[in-house]
Amino acid sequence: MYAIVDIETTGGHASANGITEIAICIHDGKRVTRRFESLVNPQRDIPVYIRALTGITNEMVQDAPLFEDVAHEIYHLLKGQIFVAHNVNFDYSFLRYHLNAAGYELNANKLCTVRLGRKIMPGLMSYSLGKLCTHLGISNNARHRAMGDAEATAQLFSLYLKNDTSNHIGAALKQNSKEQVLPANLPKTDIEALPTSPGIYYFHDEKGKVVYVGKAKNIRKRVCSHFTGNNPNLQRQEFLKNIYRISHQVCGNELIALVTEAVEIKRLWPKYNRSLKRFENTFGIYMYEDQRGYMRLAVDKHRKHMPAVYACNSLYEGRNLLLNLIDTFGLCPKLCFIQKNDQPCQGANVGACACEGHESPEVYNQRIQGALDELKKALPTFAIRDEGRTDDEHSCILIEEGRFYGMGYISHYYDVGNIQALKNYLTPYPGNDYIRNIVTGYAERFPQRKVSFSA
């Protein structure tokens, strides 16, 4: 038996919206044998645009039963049936959420008439319920009302049952089939084409634009994990609705996947990626020349259009590093913005301090250059040589003077000895502290994969 369902709601996600109308048609595989419909008081205002779309007003639901008052009947109508709807995950997420709030746990096999339509009747311009009904001659005199749409979906489902010569419905209901959990607009062939190797994957919207980039040790397994569960929040529901295609890029190992994900998020700026978009170098040591010709060092927050001579993760780290340089090279704490009061300079060269003009810029700047050379020595240059995409290649990531240079793939037999020669095999990419940190952290965990270069 099939329970063909349609609901009208106050919004697009269950956790913050209510149901205003529900219709259920029980279908025995040949015809509808029972019908249920009811308006529902959502206990919140129905937005104007939804009132205009459905025709359901606040006044119409004012005296309607609350969902908890009809939950018992709805649950027993759905229990043990195959849950069928047009874009099934939307209706199912709402009913599962609100039934759970009323004390009932819904667990049902699902069939999506959007997905089935793409398989049983391929090649149509649109699989929206309205366009399908027009194409197939199914009348619906109550569009965007629960029973009107449920009846139309029931007629559509009857046609699917008659025309399913390849048993797509039976295949979708098999226990090991993931068909019912996939987004309505995503072809299952996209999932079947995914490898089980490390890499990154791209979710595309209806126009082909990348809306999400992710990384994985196992691409297929990770992609499928996005579609499990029935999270009712707005972000997930909108996310699933906008996935029309998946592409991927195989990487040699998880580290390459991590770095590639960070690079691609910065390049594509996908709608549903958030964390790596916001990542920026937090602090840095900056150098500039003042009006008197003195070179000055300062710890400051990240400046987008001014490169730091040394990037650091915190003000504390940058300040301690600058204090060490002041002590080691006799730098002026006032010119380094460490001493900010009007008291006499507390630097190592008291009595001949540059801040008082007792030392020429040329002499002082020599010590600044010494400090910069010391910082440069502290910035590592190394490569990570690791597994490649095939047995006859290795992956390679290069960090040059503490900055991410790029990555690529080299022959299994290539001797990584000359940094300039190596660069010919690598693709340069823009980097940031996030990439630098994960690569240097990886090098610390796996020192046997690190290739150092002599100065």
Q: Which residues form the catalytic set?
A: 144
The structure tokens listed for 331 are 């730098």
DSSP per-residue letters across 92-140: HHHHHHHHHHTT------EEEHHHHHHHHSTT-S--SHHHHHHHHT---
Q: How far apart are CA 416 and CA 410, in angstroms?
A: 9
Q: How far apart are CA 312 and CA 271, in angstroms?
A: 29
Could you list the beta-strand ranges (E) of 251-392.
Answer: 283-289, 295-301, 310-312, 382-387
Kindly give the interhelix angle for 88-101 and 234-241, rounded to the nearest 10 degrees.
160
Q: How far apart are CA 261 and CA 248, in angstroms?
A: 11
Q: How far apart are CA 317 and CA 358, in angstroms?
A: 31
Looking at this protein, which amino acid is placed at residue 1? M
- Do the Cβ atoms of 205 and 186 come closer than 8 Å? no
DSSP per-residue letters across 211-278: EEEEEESSHHHHHHHTTSS---SHHHHHHHHT--EEEEEE-SSHHHHHHHHHHHHHHH--TT--HHHH
Q: How many CB atoms lie within 10 A of CB 172?
A: 22
- Do the Cβ atoms of 184 and 237 come closer than 8 Å? no
Q: How far apart are CA 397 and CA 406, in angstroms?
A: 6
Residue 64, Cβ density class (10 Å: 0-12 exposed, 13-18 middle, ≥19 buried):
middle
Looking up tokens 């996939």 gives 182
Q: How many CB atoms lie within 10 A of CB 28?
A: 10
